[in-house]
Amino acid sequence: MPRGHRKTARERLQTVALWGVLVIALTAVLVVRIGFAGAVADAISAALEALFIAAFLALTVDPYLKKEFFREASTDIFFFWLGYALPHEVGDYLQTFIMDTKLVRRECELRWNLRELDTGKVELKLRVSFILQNVTNQRQDYQLGGSIFGGAAQERVLEMRCDAPGLKELEYVWGPRDFQATSDGWLLGPHCSIPPQATLDREKRGDIRFSILYASLHEPDGSDVWMTGAPTINVKVICEPADRFRFSINQEGAELVGPGQWELKGIRLKDSVVGISWQRLTEGHELDEAPSP
């Protein structure tokens, strides 16, 4: 069996039973060999010897074979999944991705909102919110963070928050004065300890939802991007106001569900990019949706 595997009560009971069979079979073989003779005794002795050998193999060889099977499977698990071997570079990346994935984002919403300014620029606010799930069986540390860029966009972070019904120790709302700045341009929220999702489900707790609000300056016709910081399942994009700007999205397979609104089904790997672009509508310009590429 794989290293680090903890035996269940059923497995422990099976081991005890096998040791019992081993001792009883060995004792019976000795009794038959010493106290009896003849063809019947020889047949009974052979059957008991076979039982002894089977129990011995189950206690010694079988666990080794299982361990070797798991070892071989783990060296190229994708062969078993896909039916063919992947290049080493791809396989190594995917194995690292799977082994390192402990926190997953679900039901992510990206809400872009544009506001025209007297200067001719537009102020863009992007609120990113998502449910965070711990897919391991142990608590995991998490710290919400946002990267900002200088230049003409003058990007800044306005708010970070966590809403966790039933887990008041995780809830917070932080403003710009509360963020912890790093030397590489990141702003971080407080450290959080995320319970396993299985525990939350068992205790019927609510979802843990994080959100972050960005603001930046742009031209009337422009674009913006957001990058996943963890594997993300299902993304909804909302762009407003759809009656003043024509929005488009750079994602294949994005399903248009309303004016300036798309749904991205499935999983986005870590560091995947979701981008939008917009054009300001002039008076008398007919509003229509630009098709997704």
pLDDT of the residue at 290 = 45
Least confident range from 53-62, 163-172, 176-185: namely: 53-62
In a domain, 36, yes or no: yes
Phi and psi, residue 106, nearest 5°: -130, 155
82 and 39 in one domain? yes
Most confidently modeled range among 12-21, 85-94, 246-255: 246-255
| Of the candidates 89, 90, 208, 98, the residue with the CA atom closest to the CA atom of residue 144 | 208
pLDDT of the residue at 143 = 93
106 and 93 in one domain? no
| Of the candidates 51, 62, 49, 84, the residue with the CA atom closest to the CA atom of residue 15 | 62
Q: Is 60 exceeded by the pLDDT of residue 253? A: yes
pLDDT of the residue at 155 = 83
Contacts of 249 (CB under 8 A, 6+ apart): 237, 262, 274, 275, 276, 292
Q: Among 97, 130, 153, where does a domain finish?
A: 97
Phi and psi, residue 57, nearest 5°: -65, -40
Q: At what angle do helices 39-75 and 9-35 cross, to 10 degrees?
A: 150
Least confident range from 25-29, 91-95, 187-191, 257-261: namely: 91-95
Q: Among 97, 115, 138, where does a domain finish?
A: 97
86 and 110 in one domain? no
201 and 146 in one domain? yes
Q: Is 50 exceeded by the pLDDT of residue 175? A: yes
In a domain, 291, yes or no: no
Residue 35 amino acid letter? G
Q: Is 70 exceeded by the pLDDT of residue 218? A: yes
Looking at the chain, the whole-number percentage of residues with pLDDT higher than 90 is 42
Instruction: Locate 228 and state its tokens.
Output: 């996943």
Question: What's the average model confidence in pLDDT over 80-108?
Answer: 64
In a domain, 293, yes or no: no
Q: What is the CATH number of the domain that holds 202?
A: 2.60.40
Q: Is 70 exceeded by the pLDDT of residue 202? A: yes
pLDDT of the residue at 289 = 44
Between 37 and 268, the higher pLDDT residue:
268
pLDDT of the residue at 5 = 40
Looking at the chain, the whole-number percentage of residues with pLDDT higher than 70 is 61
248 and 139 in one domain? yes
pTM of the model: 0.66
pLDDT of the residue at 152 = 57
Q: Are 251 and 274 in contact (CB under 8 A)?
A: yes
263 and 190 in one domain? yes
179 and 223 in one domain? yes
> How many separate domains does the chain show?
2
Q: Among 97, 122, 145, where does a domain finish?
A: 97
In a domain, 161, yes or no: yes
pLDDT of the residue at 6 = 45
What integer best gives the mean pLDDT of the chain? 78
Instruction: Locate 184 and state its tokens.
Output: 């590489």
219 and 137 in one domain? yes
Full domain range(s) for residue 132: 102-280
Distance CA 231, CA 228 (A): 7
133 and 45 in one domain? no
130 and 237 in one domain? yes
Band of residue 89 on the pLDDT scale cut at 50, 70, 90 = low
